[in-house]
Amino acid sequence: MARKSITQDLRGTKWKVHQDLADSPGLRFAQEYFSGYGCSQVEWVTVKVGAWGGPGTIYDEELGGWTSPVGGRCHQLRSTHTRGGLYRLNCRVNSRLGWPANKRTRVSPLYRNEDGSWPDVPEGHESGAWLIDPKTGQEWKRLYRLLSLRDHDEALVWIIAHEAFHYFRRSRQIDGKNVEIEADRYAEGVLRAFQVLEEYPG
């Protein structure tokens, strides 16, 4: 039975990559883009293909949520059975949705006005959960922007950059708060750099 993943050792960082993505221009771009950062605390980066969620990127009442074209996690190992303190960056691309596919990216929330009204939801955005600070009484709604990922290459660049942000922030290599809004913003910036390169190669 053929192996589904191959292992690449790039500048001391181990990448475990699904064989279908091994020649991806998006993967190569991400690997090169982040080669100048210190990754000595990264045990490995996994890049996988999966199939999860519903048939599209619209809200699915039965599943109770959205289906995302990507998924990932950056976590630090604390087990006594492993080399403590190292990080693993796990990235997945959803093969179920097809391309292009919408990714819900988190942006700064909508805060309720003093008169009790709400600001208009910007075009191309959607509001989410309604939250309140019990100490101050301030109310806000989460806000999402739909980002179109044209293919699996763009999806790879986005999710690798998103998870890399969490690691680079925790290892104090970049500025900012280690929150999802900033990780999404950072990933979109890296994606734009990839899109420019694809549009104007060389």
Cα 172–chain centre separation? 19
Q: Give the Cα separation of 159 and 5 in Å (integer).
A: 18
Rg (CA), the chain: 19
Q: pLDDT category, 1, cuts 50, 70, 90?
A: very low
Q: pLDDT category, 199, cuts 50, 70, 90?
A: confident
Structure tokens at 46: 């996994």
Structure tokens at 17: 């990559």
Q: Please compute, for residue 177, the number of CA atoms within 13 A of its CA located in the half-sphere on the CB side.
A: 5
Structure tokens at 33: 């883009």
pLDDT at 39: 84
Cα 38–chain centre separation? 20
State the CATH class of domain 5-105+144-199: alpha beta
Helix (H, G, I), strand (E, B) or coil at 194: helix
Q: What is the per-residue pLDDT across 65-87, written as a single tens digit (0 to 9) for each? A: 567 889 999 988 765 454 557 88
Find the mean pLDDT for residues 150-155: 94
Of 122 and 12, the one with more pLDDT: 122
pLDDT tops 50 at residue 191: yes
Q: Give the Cα separation of 27 and 33 in Å (integer).
A: 10
